[in-house]
Amino acid sequence: MTVALNHRVEGPAEAPVLVLLNSLGTDLRMWEPQAAALQDEYRLVRLDTRGHGGSPVPDGPWTLADLGGDVLALLDWLGIATASFAGVSLGGATAVWLAAHAPERVERLLACFTSPYFGPPDRWLERAAIVRADGVEAVADSVLDRWFTAAVDPDLRAQMRDMIVATPPAGYAAATEVVAHLDLRDDLGKITAPTLVISGSEDPACPPEVGLTLAAGIPGAEFACVEGVAHLGNLERPEVVTDLIRSHLGKEPS
């Protein structure tokens, strides 16, 4: 069953629609730099994944199809037939799922700092168990070490720490279990939307070789690597990622 997602719509009503999907442990504010730069050019739909931010926390377990279904239900409610999608990490995997399973809804795809498969589930299930027992605070600093390089602005790191620890523990844990079990590797060939895969050169969670493999599995996909960033590259080098989004969306379909 889908849930009604907390969301924000910005930009001209007649502009092309771009849906921005957040990573595990964040909310729609993680896209603030891109929203500020793009809201005059696009109709932006930002949302909180179920269990995050202001969205409901339904009982688990959840699947990636549940997350994708929530997004489609939101677009239906907004009267949006088709859109382009950009997602980071879990949001990127959700965008890939949408492009594979609802291709008629996806105009262009940007899969950012993500993977079709995040490895054996054990470490993710262990993280979920820690959060259920001790709260999100127990994993926050180790997660931040993977999100950002050592050179990141300390104020940004502190801001994002506040965001992650504000995530409801039940929501964070259930979404972490989605990451543990998702596997899109056999679905990539179904994607028809023009796709750009973006990786960060210093990303320990989804290193460039993972991004290259993802791009290789999607027919016609292109690949870009942002130097000097880790997992949340849209925040660490916002102007570079914004330019990549703008460039990809501005291309004519082949």
Local confidence pLDDT in tens for the 254 residues of the chain: 999 999 999 999 999 999 999 999 999 999 999 999 999 999 999 999 999 999 999 999 999 999 999 999 999 999 999 999 999 999 999 999 999 999 999 999 999 999 999 999 999 999 999 999 999 999 999 999 999 999 999 999 999 999 999 999 999 999 999 999 999 999 999 999 999 999 999 999 999 999 999 999 999 999 999 999 999 999 999 999 999 999 999 965 43
Residue with tokens 């993680």: 30
Whether the model pTM is above 0.85: yes
Q: How many residues does the chain have?
A: 254
> What is the pLDDT, as a whole number, of residue 208?
98
Residue 43, token pair as written in the block: 């109709």
Please state, as a whole number, how many other Cβ atoms lie within 10 Å of the Cβ of residue 183. Answer: 12
> What is the pLDDT, as a whole number, of residue 253?
44
- What are the φ and ψ backbone dihedral angles of 197, each rounded to 5 degrees? -100, 130
- CA distance to 81, 109, 111, 186, 231, per residue, from 196 (Å): 21, 6, 6, 18, 16
- What are the φ and ψ backbone dihedral angles of 72, each rounded to 5 degrees? -65, -40
- Domain boundaries of the chain, sorted by first residue: 7-250
Please state, as a whole number, how many other Cβ atoms lie within 10 Å of the Cβ of residue 137. Answer: 12
Are the CB atoms for 199 and 211 separated by under 8 Å? yes
Spatial separation of the C-alpha atoms in residues 200 and 236, rounded to whole Å: 10
CATH topology classification for 7-250:
Rossmann fold (3.40.50)
- CA distance to 116, 190, 209, per residue, from 213 (Å): 9, 15, 6
Are the CB atoms for 49 and 21 separated by under 8 Å? yes
Residue with tokens 């239906």: 76
**Integer Rg of the chain from CA:** 16
Spatial separation of the C-alpha atoms in residues 236 and 192, rounded to whole Å: 30
Helices 122-134 and 137-147, axial angle in degrees (round to 10): 140
Burial class (CB in 10 A: 0-12, 13-18, 19+), 227: exposed
Spatial separation of the C-alpha atoms in residues 220 and 112, rounded to whole Å: 16
